[in-house]
Amino acid sequence: MSTSETSNLNMECSKTAQSDRLPVTALLALALAGFVTILTEALPAGLLPQIGAGLGVSDSLAGQLVTIYAIGSLVAAIPLVAATQGIRRRPLLLAAIVGFAIANTVTTISTSYILTMVARFLAGVAAGLLWALLAGYAARMVPEHLKGRAIAIAMVGTPLALSLGVPAGTFLGTLVGWRACFGIMSVMALVLIVWVRVKVPDFAGQSAGKRFTLRQVFTMPGIRPVLFVVLVFVLAHNILYTYIAPFLANANLAERTDLVLLVFGISALIGIWVIGVFIDRYLRILTLASTFIFGLAALVLGVAGDVPIAVYVAVGAWGISFGGAATLFQTALAKTAGEAADVAQSMLVTAWNLAIAGGGIVGGILLDRFGVVSFPPALLVLLVVTLLVVWSARLHGFPASKR
């Protein structure tokens, strides 16, 4: 082999190695953005008495700080993303993070319940925009065969926030006060702004001729099956997750709710790790497996929901199945939508928040009318439907792996 041929071969190998290298620092910045988003959303739930006392309202009114945040995400995601398709991506991402910094700062210093509610609504709007950007942003940083793994890294902040961030924030809030917790999140947002500006690449928005209408995206082959699966799967999750305390009382585990949720959180981390390793080759199989495992967990809870050890095992399986679910769904949607990924992701954000709200409503009705014993059968019905839709979306949405 000649010297020139050897040189060309070395250059090709170098290019291949570079193409297989994940931009971990930039992806971790996106993960921290997700961490701040989830922590901002969920932290008030663990500090309701302190927040209520600080703002001079009841615990139930303090709980609406979570509700108004979800409403902000729900109403803003689709129109905001549709309206900003032409804007460059990094300034848009930074604007969302600045929104968190402002909202959490106002929450830290506000003594007015109304002003705090306004700040929480604006934080929800920022969350709707950020969630719609994350998966598409991560996918743009890497070649096609690494998109799933990149999205998995970008989404790792979610289970970390739920399993570690919220319990740690709740503990910290009892020590130094709830206002200090929101102040810390404001500082985290400021650090994140610098990190994104320095390490995260910028991408152009869509030109006027290439922008997508909501109708165009919604009618793309595969989009509706993925959105339907998101809605039904997350609805099943939230029926149980929202009312986990009364469900655990059936097994005399009400006082161990924190330990049960810790098992769920650790299992979720395992789930997202497994998904991250294999998602680019086995997206369809992993989605089917996650749904099936969640169904088995629901079955165990239905048959032996009053046996503590069975509950712990089932919750562990549930955590594994749900941990990587967001990554699976967002990857499926990003690959299906292509250049329309951001608009499609805004629809996913809306479907996800509808499922959260629906979980509270449906779960509450089931609890009042039939008791916690009705949860497992309801979950099984929803998960069987999910499994059938994933199975039928073989060509578009959840396609079979290409060999």
Between 14 and 158, the higher pLDDT residue: 158
- Write the pLDDT tens digit of every residue in 177-203: 889 989 999 999 999 999 999 999 988
Same-domain status, 292 and 348:
yes
Same-domain status, 248 and 373:
yes
Domain C-terminal end among 164, 186, 211:
211
Distance of CA 306 to the CA centre of its chain: 30
Same-domain status, 155 and 229:
no
Per the structure, the count of domains in the chain is: 2
The three-point CA angle 227-317-167 to 5° equals 85
pTM of the model: 0.79
**What is the pLDDT at residue 73?**
86
Same-domain status, 266 and 388:
yes
Same-domain status, 279 and 367:
yes
Alpha carbon distance, N-terminus to C-terminus of the chain: 32
Same-domain status, 100 and 155:
yes
Q: Which domain holds residue 51?
A: 22-211
Instruction: Quote the CA–CA distance of 199 and 77 in Å, as a whole number.
Output: 25
Same-domain status, 129 and 244:
no
Domain CATH code at residue 78: 1.20.1250.20
Question: Does residue 12 fall inside a structural domain?
Answer: no
Distance of CA 59 to the CA centre of its chain: 26
- Write the pLDDT tens digit of every residue in 84-130: 888 888 999 999 999 999 999 999 999 999 999 999 999 999 998 89
Domain C-terminal end among 170, 188, 211:
211
Same-domain status, 221 and 198:
no
Same-domain status, 30 and 167:
yes
Distance of CA 396 to the CA centre of its chain: 22
Question: Does residue 14 fall inside a structural domain?
Answer: no
